[in-house]
Amino acid sequence: MARSAIPSTSPTPAGPPPVFQGRLLIADRGNNRLLLVNADKQLLWTFPNAHAPAPPTGFYFPDDAFFIHHGTGIISNQEGNDTVVEIGFPSGKPLWAYGHPHVASSAAGYLHEPDDAYLLEDGRVVVADANNCRVVIITGEQQSGQIGKPGSCVHAPPGSLGYPNGDTPLRDGNILISEVHGSWISEYTLAGRLVWTVQLPQISYVSDPQQIGPDLYLVADYARPGGLFEFTRAGRIVWSYRPTSGPGMLDHPSLAEVLPGGLICTNDDYRDRVVIIDPHTNQIVWQYGATDHPGTQPGYLNTPDGFDLLAPDNTTPTHPFTG
């Protein structure tokens, strides 16, 4: 389901512009590292590196990574390490950590497969504590709130969540939560009040929803073949990308975001690449990583599970309402 292109009345540029402006951070989960590349696919930075080793809590299974503090830091949830870490950028210096490495628990100070850690504008951290079936709010070193509760992993708002794996901060200060069990997406206040909820039975495994318009949202279907879907709060699908075979097929995409200019970026986890799609043609126009060939050398990835764009002015245009 491709979008209709809108004719442009602007003068034709002298040459094609780059697919994106700025630098793209990739959470290369299978290689336990972060990479920074530009639109020309030049490798600009990696972590850990010879000058910045992994933090004391380890750096294992980086599921997501987002720039914070105007591009001077990075926050990353280590899903397989049951921790969230913050490092300086580009120094790689460990700044903060939460959780206990390789110890999964629902007790105070512990996590179990954390997903999508975001720094909020007020300095708190929010993270989907997936296997504990809750979204945790962290202030400093302490848990200061939660939505959902361990032991109750069904969609029963506002008391319980069905395996949450996304918690995107919104302009109004609320968060957008995806629940794998039942394919539900909901907006909650940080105090735990439900604002709205919708079920998307067309999508088998909803992952990391993003708001892209007043009543328009983007979500990935973490499946094979996977897909990307734009939908409304009423549950109407208005655009989709879901090739079922060939080079355009996605295999377990877990995050999709609209870049400045309208192209859509997604990490295609099990095909070992990050791709950018033109929604008007439903064609891949850029990718980093060799399709179906994991590796560690420049130009290769291994199960990339997250990304973030740092614009030339050091803003984060795909999640502007974070710290």
**102 pLDDT tier (thresholds 50, 70, 90):** very high
H or E element at residue 138: strand 134-139
Mean pLDDT calculated for residue range 56-76 = 95
pLDDT digits (tens, 9 = 90+) for 135-178: 999 999 999 999 999 999 999 999 999 999 999 999 999 999 99
- On the question of pLDDT at 5 being above 80, the answer is no
- Alpha-helical (H) ranges within the chain are none
- On the question of pLDDT at 7 being above 50, the answer is no
pTM: 0.95
- What does the buried/exposed string (b/e) look like for 183-214 if buried means 16 or more CB atoms within 10 Å of the residue's CB? bbbbbbebeeeebebbebeebebbbbbbbeee
The reported pLDDT for the residue numbered 91 is 98
For the chain, percent of residues with pLDDT exceeding 70? 96
**DSSP state, 249?**
-
Q: Which two tokens stand for residue 31?
A: 């290689």
Average pLDDT, the chain: 95
pLDDT digits (tens, 9 = 90+) for 82-93: 999 999 999 999
Contacts of 2 (CB under 8 A, 6+ apart): 239, 279, 280, 281, 282
pLDDT digits (tens, 9 = 90+) for 218-229: 999 999 999 999
The reported pLDDT for the residue numbered 175 is 98
**17 pLDDT tier (thresholds 50, 70, 90):** confident
Number of neighbours of residue 127 by Cβ within 10 angstroms: 24
CATH number of this structure's domain 23-310: 2.120.10.30
- What does the buried/exposed string (b/e) look like for 28-64 if buried means 16 or more CB atoms within 10 Å of the residue's CB? bbbbbbbbbbbbeeeeeebbbeeebebbebbbbbbbb
Give the chain's count of helices (H) and strands (E). Answer: 0, 24
* Helix, strand, coil shares, percent, the chain, to 5: 5, 45, 50
- On the question of pLDDT at 71 being above 70, the answer is yes
**58 pLDDT tier (thresholds 50, 70, 90):** confident
For the chain, percent of residues with pLDDT exceeding 90? 93
- On the question of pLDDT at 6 being above 90, the answer is no
**57 pLDDT tier (thresholds 50, 70, 90):** confident
Give the integer Cα–Cα distance in Å for 121 and 189: 15
